[in-house]
Amino acid sequence: MLVTSMKTKMTLAVFLLVGFLMSVTAVSSVLYYEQRFRRNISLQQSTLLDSLAYQVDNRIFDFMSDLDQLAAGITPETLGSQKLAQQLLDAHKKQRAFFDNSLFIFSNTGRLIAANPEGLNFIGKDFSFRDYFKQTMQTGKMSVSAPFVSIQKQSYPIIMFSTPVYDSKHRIIGILGGSIDLRRQRYLQSLAALKLGQKGFLSLYDSNRYVLMHPNPKRVLRRDPPGSNDMVDRAIAGYEGTRESGTVAGLPVLRSVKRLKSTNWIMAVSYPLSEVYGPLYTARNYFLAGSLAASLLSILIVWPFMGYLTRPLLSFTRHLEQLPSLKGSRRLAPVISDDEIGQMARTFNKMLLEQERSRDFYLTLFENFPAMVWRAGTDGKCDYFNQTWLEFTGRPLEEEQGDGWMQGVHPEELDFCCRTYLDAVENRRPFQMEYRLRHRSGSYRWITDMGRPFYGIDGEFVGYIGTCYDVTERQEAADKILKLSRVIEQSPNAVLIATLDGTIEYVNPMTVEATGYEVAELVGSDMKRLLPHEAQLGFKLALRELVRRGKEWRGEIPARRKEGAIFWEQVTLSPIKTMDGKATHLVCIKEDITQRRQFELSLKESEERYRLLFENNPHPMWAYDLKALSFLAVNNAALRHYGYSMQEFLEMKLNDLSAHSSEGLELLPQGETSTAGAPLKRHVKKDGSVILVETISQVMKFAGVDAEIVMVHDVTEKLRAEQEKLALEHQLTQSQKMEAIGTLTGGIAHDFNNILTAIIGYTTMMQLELDEEHPLQRKVGEILRASERAASLTRSLLAYSRRQAGNPAPTGLNAIINNVDILLQRLIPENIELRSQLAPEELSIMADSGQIEQVIMNLVVNARDAMPEGGVLSLSTESMALDREFVAKHGYGRPGSYALLAVADSGVGMDEKTRDRIFEPFFTTKAPGKGTGLGLAMVYGIVKQHAGFINCYSEPGHGTVFRIYLPLIDAPAEMEAAQADQELRGGDETILLVEDDAVIREMVGELLEEFGYRVIKAVDGEDAVQTFRGAAAEVQLVILDVIMPKRNGKEAYDEISRIRPGVKALFMSGYTADIITDSLIKGDPRHFVSKPISISELLGKVRDLLDEQLNCR
């Protein structure tokens, strides 16, 4: 170890001593020389600046004085003449040496009078706005302006010197000015070009920080912001002197500043530090080099000498290094000199022999010590464990040394153990800790480990020594006691320990919370303190019984809180006995049962209330076993409502109440089993009647079994009332629809019947005029038959809308189908097959055959349109009896015998949404212009008018079936008698014909005239009255249309009756519900003929009324 050897250390010490002394001498000299050098350089630079400033001041003062002298020579006459002023300036060339830019003469108003050079072209321009002009006029003294840019063509930066021109009364009559160009002024340029050393320079600033002179022309007229040039800032504040500073560009310089007296400008000399202190830095380097050389020389001289001095000591230290590996006498140090080092070796040998004897004694002591002993070095690694430790762990010493002993520490305490041990070693302090260490048996046992640092005779830390004790039994006992203590302390019940006479020695926190007393108030007092007076005697007797018998006592007693409130407790008193069985104390465990007692009392009251609510509830209620379905309890309302006795109910099962027939289903739409979201059930009473009920239930424990309590609400009458309400609402809706359609169809029928009247009238007249064998007879007959069908259609529309009653008569359903068979064949195309399957016997019904024909025609047309690609259309009839089961299953109809008419097709079918709307007026699925939406609505109306039912079944792609149920009658169907030609009779009477429709008026008038009558015509009601006034004596009969302008038929007839009472009248109308009343026709149908008019009917009724009048005469 050459670096740490004594020789090296001593040599290094001498070297450092010499180096230190030489360094101190050199540094002191350098610092002194540097201080003197800096002071001299600063002084020289300040002197140079003072000299330059003095010269500049003198020069500027001279020129300012010349300018003042020139101003003194300017007279008012000179100012009054531009020529004289110009000659004055041209004659004084001397001032141009400094004021090299221009000389100016201004009037006191600021107008330029003259300038030199003359060619500036600013003569007469107003310069009163310039700051130098304003300042000179205000102060009356010479003024030096701040730099500004000239308005001359070159735009140079200039400074203006201006002085006032006075008259004889010392009034300012003008201003003389001289300007210098900062970039061309020869004197300033010569100063700026002055070099100080290699890089030193002069600069000039005004009091506003503008650069007036600088070796760099670009810097001229630039302004140094505050803070960018600290020496200029100091000079403005009044400082004059020399300091180390920096340029705006950041170059370190030695700068001197001084303010010029003539202009208040600031002159600065800047000298780069690298150039100023160059000689100083060179000298410093020579000093350092010399010191280093001297130090190295001292090492070369001292090193051999130190080797001679330290040789015996090196021999001794080498022996000490080898000492751990030496044995016996070789451990003694060699003595090779008689000096202090030799004496140290002999003393060491004596100490070594004494240590060997002491070590053997203590090692024997530690090995046989009953506690476990360990030792660790300065690094914290254990290097010794005694025999007791090794016997405890069952591991050899080699495995325990170092950190090996930690392998036996329980994993849960390993981290804690390591942190505690290492922290103590790091801070050199004693420690004590408990942890579990693995025993040789494999189990873990608790030990207490105590370690302390020990030190050598020199006071140096040499390691740790510690002892360990097995404390497993003590730890287990302490844990048990701690757990028992925590159980009592954290018990939710109050726990007291007292003497046998009742003196309290301990109370847990719950006792304090329950009673309101503090611990100090309870300990030492009698337990009776916690009881009301009336309970103290009973408690005293319980204590005596406990002491006498030595057994536990339990009971519920009242207790008293500190504030006097009484509450109930369940108390358990148990004796505490010694090992020999003698009772010394008692433990009292108390539980607050006040809420429980209140709950039990409330529960009894609640049970009573619910029992009364159950038994007296107006709705039937019962409880039944969920598994056995047997009744457990039934209230009085259930007994009354169902008719069973209590005994009968308790012997029944829940299923015995369920109805098995379909009775009651008709009260629900389409067989639903719920209403308003509540489930419905069908129950049967004792008398066999079925009711529909809503039930509300709740699962609960009843008499110890899983049960369900049920409340029943009979909704039979409610549903029946709702069904009746729905039926009435439906009837109202339907009647409103009929009213709307009737209004429409009535108006249509009125106009349409007028048209048909003309067609039928003229066609009939043609038929009468033609011979029976005439070829046109057949065509005329077809026109009449088509007109009759159109009239039948009009009547059907009126019948559907309730505007015209049908003409029901006993008729056969099969006969009606056979009558329209030929027409049906013409309606359907050839790609549709028509099949008819009629009942073998005739089915007699009370019906208007024309309307039934219309029903069949409409259904066949719809079936045809549903089969555009062809198919099968079938008509069938049969007799059928509808019973209650059929009605309940299908949801429509009434029990009875019916004739069933079925119309089926194999067409496209329809979905449920469409099927629900097919009977609505104006609803159609056909393309615009292909259907009116009234066909099936008319079918529905006609069927309902005949007290029948209609049902439609259809699915998309599977065709449609319409089933019509018409009530059967016992009367036989009337056979249609062949219509014999009636004899048409005429006459010669006079008839007043009143009709607003010209075609009908002419047709009817022509008809009557052909049969011999004399006809007087009127176009409306008002015309009829006026015409009748003029021919009242001649007219035997008045034929009036009911609906006419100005006056309708009734109003016209009333007025005519007043003119001639008793006159006969025959009314015509295509809309029977107009204003025709029984009082108008007096209940005699002969007084009314409906449009379209039948000629035979019209002529017959006219003749009958006229004949009746003749008979009355």
Last residue of a domain, one of 537, 570, 598: 598
Shared domain for 823 and 941, answered yes or no, is: yes
Based on the number of CB atoms within 10 Å of its own CB, is 622 exposed (0-12), middle (13-18) or buried (19 or more)?
A: buried
pLDDT over 50 at 979, yes or no:
no
355 and 385 inside one domain: no
| Domain CATH code at residue 1093 | 3.40.50.2300
Secondary structure class of 253 (helix, strand, coil): strand
- How much of the chain is helix, strand and coil, in % rounded to 5? 45, 25, 30
Residue 1047 CA to residue 1024 CA, distance in Å, equals: 9
The per-residue pLDDT for range 1004-1031, each reduced to its tens digit, is 898 889 889 999 999 998 999 999 998 8
Q: Quick one: how many helices (H) and strands (E) in the chain?
A: 33, 39
- Owner of token pair 């009734």: 1050
Q: How far apart are CA 62 and CA 178, in angstroms?
A: 13
Closest CA to 454 of 428, 422, 431: 428
What separation in angstroms does the CA of 491 have from each of 352, 499, 506, 587? 67, 21, 14, 14
More confident residue, 56 or 269: 269
Q: Would you say residue 27 lies in a domain?
A: no
Residues 472 and 505 in one domain: no
Domain boundary among 657, 687, 714: 714
Residue 192 has pLDDT above 60, yes or no: yes
pLDDT 10s digits, 585-606: 889 998 888 888 888 777 777 7
Summary mean pLDDT of the chain: 81
Residues 155 and 239 in one domain: no
Domain boundary among 926, 950, 976: 976
Q: Does any domain span residue 287? A: no
Q: What is the residue type of 606?
A: S
Average pLDDT over residues 889-900: 78
CATH of the domain at 100: 3.30.450.20
- 1081 pLDDT more than 80: no
What single string gives the DSSP state of each residue in 377-417? -TTS-EEEE-HHHHHHHT--HHHHTBTGGGGGB-HHHHHHH
Q: Give the H/E segment covering residue 1059.
A: helix 1049-1059
* Residue 773 domain flag: no
Q: What is the band of 1110 on the pLDDT scale with cuts at 50, 70, 90?
A: low
DSSP, collapsed to helix, strand or coil, labels residue 261 as coil
Q: Is 320 helix (H, G, I), strand (E, B) or coil?
A: helix
pLDDT of 156 over the 70 cut: no
In whole angstroms, what is the distance from residue 1052 CA to residue 275 CA? 144
Q: Are residues 997 and 957 in the same domain?
A: no
How many domains, the chain? Answer: 8
Measured CA to CA in angstroms, residue 715 lies from 688, 690, 731, 1064 at distances of 17, 11, 24, 64
Q: Residue 679, preceding bond cis, omega within 30 degrees?
A: no
Q: Give me the residues paired with residue 526 across strands.
A: 503
Amino acid at site 27: V
Distance CA 1001, CA 986 (A): 18
Task: Please indicate, yes or no, whether residues 208 and 345 belong to a single structural domain of this protein.
Answer: no
Task: Tell which wins on pLDDT, 621 or 751.
Answer: 621
Element (H, E) at 85: helix 82-91
Question: Residue 127 — pLDDT band, cuts 50, 70, 90?
Answer: confident
In-domain check, residue 306: no
In this prediction, residues 528-546 reach a mean pLDDT of 85
Give the phi and the psi of residue 184 in degrees, each rounded to 5. Answer: -120, -5
pLDDT at 1045 over 70: yes
What pLDDT score was predicted for residue 747? 66
Sign of the Cα torsion 1106, 1107, 1111, 1113 reads: positive
Q: Are 750 and 742 in contact (CB under 8 A)?
A: no
CA distances from 898 to 308, 590, 813, 880, 947 (A): 152, 88, 11, 5, 11
Q: Is the pLDDT of residue 349 over 70?
A: yes
Rg, the chain, Cα only:
71
Task: With residue 691 as reference, give the H or E element that holds it.
Answer: strand 690-702
Taking every pair of Cα atoms in the chain, the longest distance, rounded to a whole number of angstroms, is 199
Calpha distance 249→203 (Å, rounded): 14
891 — pLDDT class (breaks 50, 70, 90)? low
Range of the domain at 467: 368-476
Tens digits of residue pLDDT in 909-940: 888 888 877 877 666 777 665 566 667 878 88
| Residue 412, in any domain of the structure | yes
Half-sphere exposure of 537 (CA within 13 A, CB side): 2
Residues 6 or more apart in contact with residue 94 via CB below 8 angstroms: 66
Comparing C-alpha atoms, which of 636, 661, 660, 659 is closest to residue 649? 636
* Residue 869 located in a structural domain: yes
Write out pLDDT tens, residues 290-339.
777 777 777 777 777 776 666 666 777 777 777 767 766 677 777 766 76
pLDDT for 672: 46
If asked whether residues 85 and 130 sit together in one domain, one would say yes
How confident is the model over 438-465, as pLDDT tens digits?
Answer: 999 889 999 999 999 988 777 888 899 9
Task: Kindly give, in sequence order, each residue whose CB lies less than 8 Å from that of residue 963, ignoring residues fewer than 6 positions away.
Answer: 900, 901, 902, 950, 951, 952, 953
Do 591 and 528 share a domain, yes or no? Answer: yes
DSSP state of 1093: P
Nearest to 160 by CA among 236, 72, 98: 98
Q: What is the CB-side half-sphere exposure of residue 921 using CA atoms within 13 A? A: 17
Model pLDDT, residue 453: 92
What pLDDT, on a 0 to 100 scale, did the predictor assign at position 228? 81
Residues 830 and 959 placed together within one structural domain of the fold: yes
Residue 11 domain flag: no
Residue whose tokens read 């600063």: 42
Q: 375 with 463: CB under 8 angstroms?
A: yes
User: Inter-axis angle of helices 716-769 and 776-800, to 10 degrees?
Assistant: 160
Across the range 681-692, mean pLDDT stands at 87
Element (H, E) at 510: helix 509-515
Q: How far apart are CA 237 and CA 227, in angstroms?
A: 13
CATH number of the domain residue 942 falls in: 3.30.565.10
- Is residue 704 pLDDT above 60, yes or no? yes
- 173 plus 194 within the same structural domain: no
Q: Do residues 1086 and 1101 share a domain?
A: yes
Q: Are residues 963 and 1096 in the same domain?
A: no
pLDDT at 980: 37
Mean pLDDT value across residues 1049-1064: 89
Tell me, yes or no, whether 91 lies in a domain: yes
Report the alpha-carbon distance of residue 637 to residue 617 in Å, rounded. 7
To 5 degrees, how large is the angle CA 810–CA 813–CA 819? Answer: 105
Is the pLDDT score of 836 beyond 50?
A: yes
